[in-house]
Structure 1
């Protein structure tokens, strides 16, 4: 069946809601990541030497915005052409260099969904979750391909 227009609308609207409170939502996202995988702290330069998740950290916010933005872009691509293409060919190499492995993708996916659930509030639904999951899975698959 492919990625539907309704799914793209769901991802786009919740992406816009995410960006409206980027500082808070970025902290929320990385808090969820570290709750699930405390050792992942060493994978992020902006988390390495801090206790917990630093507030008002431009690098943290920029990275969160990039992660969620890439998933949103993956949704747009899935709707338009049924596949995801990485706009940044270096993403695979960066993930290899940082030591990212398959379980990390699961942690990020869970944290991303948990963050969107918080952002969406009363708008959270199985359809919204499925749309973000499909977009994330498409992006993660392409990053993993670029890592090998």
Structure 2
């Protein structure tokens, strides 16, 4: 069980709101950051075949879903002390991530890109405490996805 405070949940929720203000622009920051660290990851995202483009609805939708799931993880952590993916979601995520060849280092790249994107979205509201809240939420979500990959 992970201890996740009311304040941590509030920090994630408020920065999620900042992220939602311009998802297309933030999706560019997110995917550009991923590809700078791991150029080969481009092949893992079919919607990046033509590059990062804020006018790409699939890119925007995928970024929104990823950040939303991380935010939902923060809510679950506060409520239950753990992240539990619904069976259908877990099976789907496990299969897709296993098929794409996602490895442990990829999770670190995504985490770094997530934090960079949130930092840009919140501007001067960025803090170590905010960073830590997103890190914990992401780490617990990533652990649930890794678990689903082993049973895929």
Segments of 5+ residues of structure 1 without an aligned counterpart are: none
Alignment of 1:1-148 (within 5 A): 2-48=3-49, 50=50, 52-87=51-86, 88-89=89-90, 90-148=92-150
How far apart, CA to CA, are the structure 2 residues paired with 1:39 and 1:94? 17
Instruction: State the shift of 1:16 in Å.
Output: 0.8
TM-score, L = length of structure 1: 0.96
Alpha-carbon deviations, 1:49-73, whole Å to 9, x = none? x1x3123000000000011001000
The two structures, once aligned, show a CA RMSD in angstroms of 0.9
Give the whole-Å Cα distance in 2 for the aligned partners of 1:3 and 1:38. 34
The normalised TM-score by structure 2 is 0.93
Query: Structure 1 segments of 4 or more deviating over 2 A?
Result: none
State the Cα deviation string for residues 64-96 of structure 1 (Å, max 9, x = none).
Answer: 001100100000000000000113121111100
